[in-house]
Amino acid sequence: MKKVLIITYYWPPSGGSGVQRWLKFTKYLRDFNWEPVIYTPENPEIPVKDSSLLNDIPEGITVLKKKIWEPYSFYKKFLGQKGEDKIQTGFLTEKKKPKRKEKISVWIRGNLFIPDARKFWIRPSVKYLTTYLKKNPVDIIISTGPPHSMHLIAQRLKKKLNIPWLADFRDPWTNIDFYKDLKLTQWADKKHKKQEQLVIKEADSLIVVGNTLKKEYQNMGAKNISVITNGYDQDDYIDNDVCLDKKFSIMHVGTITYSRNPKDLWLVLSELVNEYHDFAEDLEIKLIGKIDLSVNENIAKLGLEKFVVKTNYLSHKDAIREQKKSHVLFLPINNTQNAKGIITGKLFEYLAARRPVLGIGPTDGDAAEIINNTKAGMLSGFGDNNRLKNNILALYHDYKNGKLQTNKGNISKYSRKNLTGELVELLNGLVK
């Protein structure tokens, strides 16, 4: 078998969205005669823990771990947080007036920790992996970001050892929606962009998760770039012993940041519960995951609290079960300048759950294209509340008449195994 070294910050028992993509690729690589070797921190600062994901790690694969020093202990002391408090990755976009210390910490994050707070792991990782790879050669290196420090480890290894390198961008670097909130100096902005260009130009190939992101990187000078979307793992959907909720449940799973807060949805739902008695009797809003302060404020202001059931976090397995039980799966796209290119990983799991998707976002965006092509549901544009209202009423009418149809579109191209096959085609082309 050929061997591939995968450099990733997120690895089980880390939970959340960041771990799924390369855990699932790793799960299926052996089916295509590739042996994965994982390199990941021994003691990462992870927002959530999900030990159930350990079951997806192929038996006997090599997982290399090295301790990482991250400045979060100082960050917590500076802000007066407790040791067990978790650093939330979306803190930059929360709706609250930042305190002076928080403003300072954001400035430090953007201007001193370039490209991110894992920069201190680059040099020791290069030293460790150089020694390891000389004794245990691999055919290619893959780095996945964010955090984009992982790419800089791979870049130095390629330069030292002349090993082909593929860089995977799960999210943009300098085009990420919170980049403007980092309060960058001109010097720091130039350094971020210089490092991004280094990765674009020196990687043998790039992969991104959507067509819009591909165009963005092509405009930056990327040449050999491919799209491999996120997806769903069919093994996660074998359990069919699930009964639908009795109530007309609209569910969202995952983090809702300030820019993702679906204000249109709350407004339309408040109108519907006031206009239709039956709708008010039947409605249930299920929110699973961390939600921004602004979400709670909107829900309370519009009198929707009694309809909402909140769960801070569920394991991946339990979250999928809740998706399959729900009547409607809600997909909000961040209302930001890069909204057209946002394809949240949950979309593909929504497809596999075979429940209707209700979305809000750009009607000409990447997510809308997938929803339309798979006949998975309905999506209305930002501020198009009439269309959103009609979409919800159509779904509710079908629910009342027992005709709420599940998604019947062909989604097999988004299975994790098929996507791994696409990845392997790229790898085979890079390794001569």
pLDDT per position as a tens digit, 393-419: 999 999 999 989 887 889 999 999 999
In this prediction, residue 91 carries a pLDDT of 43
Q: How far apart are CA 283 and CA 270, in angstroms?
A: 11
93's CB contacts (< 8 A; 6+ apart) are: 177, 178, 181, 257, 258, 259, 292
Instruction: List the CATH number of the domain containing 116.
Output: 3.40.50.2000
Together in a domain, 27 and 128:
yes
Torsions phi, psi for 346 (to 5 deg) = -65, -25
Together in a domain, 391 and 337:
yes
Supply the pTM of this predicted model: 0.92
Together in a domain, 249 and 364:
yes
Structural domain range at position 258: 234-400
Together in a domain, 318 and 275:
yes
In this prediction, residue 254 carries a pLDDT of 92
Task: Please report whether residue 88 resides in a domain.
Answer: no
Q: Return the SS3 of 89.
A: coil
275's CB contacts (< 8 A; 6+ apart) are: none
Task: Please report whether residue 178 resides in a domain.
Answer: yes
Strands annotated E in 100-255: 140-145, 165-169, 205-208, 225-227, 248-253
pLDDT per position as a tens digit, 111-129: 888 999 999 999 999 999 9
Q: How far apart are CA 348 and CA 350, in angstroms?
A: 5
Together in a domain, 225 and 251:
no
Q: What is the mean pLDDT of residues 268-281?
A: 98
Q: How far apart are CA 326 and CA 365, in angstroms?
A: 25
Together in a domain, 221 and 245:
no
Count structural domains, the chain. 2
In this prediction, residue 84 carries a pLDDT of 44
Together in a domain, 250 and 367:
yes
pLDDT per position as a tens digit, 48-104: 899 999 999 999 999 999 999 888 656 555 555 554 444 444 444 455 555 677 777
Torsions phi, psi for 309 (to 5 deg) = -120, 120
pLDDT per position as a tens digit, 251-267: 999 999 999 999 999 99
> What pLDDT band is residue 152 in, cutting at 50, 70 and 90?
very high
